[in-house]
Amino acid sequence: MSTLPVPAIRITHASKSFNRRAKALDGVNATIAVGECVGLLGASGSGKSTLLRSICGLERLDGKSSAVELFGQPLQTGGVLSPDIRALRRQTGIIFQQFNLVGRMNVLSNVLTGLLPGMPLWRSLAGRFTDAEHLQALQALDSVGLADYAFQRASTLSGGQQQRAAVARALLQGARILLADEPVSSLDPESARRVMDLLHHLNRSQGMTLVVSLHNVTMARRYCDRIIALRAGELVFDGPPLELDDTKLRFLYGSSSEELLTEHDPLDAPPLPLPVSHQTEVLAA
C-alpha cells in the first residue's frame, strides 16, 4: 500500500489578528511539497509577511485549530510553539527585504552567523568558529558568486550583493526550506534578476523548497511552479501561474491589482538555465 509523500510545509486554518477590526490571516490552508517553488502574491497588507513569519515560528497563530507542520513535524499548534522549535527553525532559512546584515562586520562573519542557532551557547557567545566552519562559509559564498568579497565590510556591498550574502547565510545554516519575504523589492532591475536567478537555481539544483513573496505578478509567473495569492488575509487563488491571468487578477483584487501589474518589471526575457560550473561567473558582481 503506497503512502503519500510528507510535504515540506502544511498550513492548517492559519489565522492571526493584530487588532479587532481586521485579520492579518483568516483561515489559510495550504500544503507545499518538498522541492516546490511557490510564489506568494498579494497587494500590500494582504498577509504575506505574516504567513511567512508563521511558517518559521516568528509569529504565533491564533485559534486552537491553527497549525503549521514542517516535514510532518508540528512547528506550532494553536499558537503554542513546539518544544523542538530550535531544531525545526534550523531547517528553515528566511531572508528579508532589509538583508539583516551587520554592516561593520565583514561578509564572511555575517555568513557564519547562520551557524549560531546550532552551536553550544558558550561557542555562540564567544563567536568561535572552527577552520572547517570557515571553509564551509567560504564555499557558501562561492556558490552565490561572492567569494572574492568575503573579507570586505558588508556595508560596502550593493543591495543585490547583500541579498546574495543573506542567501549564503541560509545555505550555511543547512536550511531545507527557504522563505524569502519581498527579497527583490528594494533592488535595481539587474540585481533583482540576479537574486531571482540564484533562488531559482538553488530550488532546481538542490531541491530546496522555496516560498517567495512578491509584488510583481510577471516575476511570480516566470519563476514559480505555483502561485498562492492572498487578499485581506484570505487565500483567494492557489494554482499554476498561467491560470492567474490579468483578467482573473483584476477580478480578485479590483483596483489593488494595478499594484501587482504595473510595478516595474525587471525581467525582459526568461531566465537562462544556470549550470553549476558557470554559477560564480554568471552571478559575479
Domain ranges of the chain: 9-91+176-283, 100-174
Mean per-residue pLDDT, 111-131: 72
User: Could you tell me if 57 and 76 are in contact, meaning their C-beta atoms sit under 8 angstroms apart?
Assistant: yes
pLDDT value of position 66: 95
- Assign 275 a pLDDT band (cuts: 50, 70, 90): very low
Cell numbers that stand for 130 in this block:
572552527
Q: What is the mean pLDDT of residues 81-110?
A: 89
Provide the 3-class DSSP secondary structure of residue 130: coil
Helical pair 189-206 and 159-173, crossing angle rounded to 10 deg: 20
Distance CA 191, CA 44 (A): 22
Report pLDDT for 129: 83
What percentage of the chain reaches a pLDDT higher than 70? 87
Residue pair 49/96 in contact (Cβ under 8 Å)? The answer is no
What are the pLDDT digits (tens) for 179-236?
999 998 888 888 889 999 999 999 999 899 999 999 889 999 999 999 999 999 999 9
**pLDDT, position 87:** 86
- Residue 275, C-alpha cell as written in the block: 549550470
Model confidence at 257: pLDDT above 50: yes
> Residue 175 corresponds to which cell in the numbers above?
536550511
pLDDT band for position 270 (cuts 50, 70, 90): very low
Give the lowest-confidence range in 71-75, 119-123, 175-179: 119-123
Q: What is the pLDDT of residue 264?
A: 47
Whether 263 has a pLDDT exceeding 80, the answer reads no
The pLDDT of residue 88 is above 60: yes
Residue 55: its pLDDT value, please?
96
Lowest mean pLDDT: which of 26-30, 187-191, 265-269? 265-269
Residue that wins the pLDDT comparison between 257 and 208 = 208
* 3-state secondary structure at position 261: helix
How would residue 262 be classed by pLDDT, with cut points 50, 70 and 90? low
Q: What single string gives the DSSP state of each residue in 28-65?
A: EEEEE-TT-EEEEE--TTSSHHHHHHHHTTSSPPBSTT
Q: Which is higher by pLDDT, 149 or 123?
A: 149
Tell me what pLDDT residue 283 has. Answer: 40
Which of 123-127, 134-138, 279-283 shows the lowest per-residue confidence on average (mean pLDDT)?
279-283
pLDDT of residue 279: 42
**Which residue, chain included where needed, has cell 531545507?**
176
Instruction: Specify the CATH architecture of the domain 9-91+176-283.
Output: 3-Layer(aba) Sandwich (3.40)
Mean pLDDT to the nearest integer, 39-51: 92
Which has more confidence, 202 or 97? 202
Average pLDDT along the chain:
86
pLDDT of 122 higher than 50? yes
Cell of 93: 532559512
> Which pLDDT score, from 0 to 100, does residue 222 have?
92
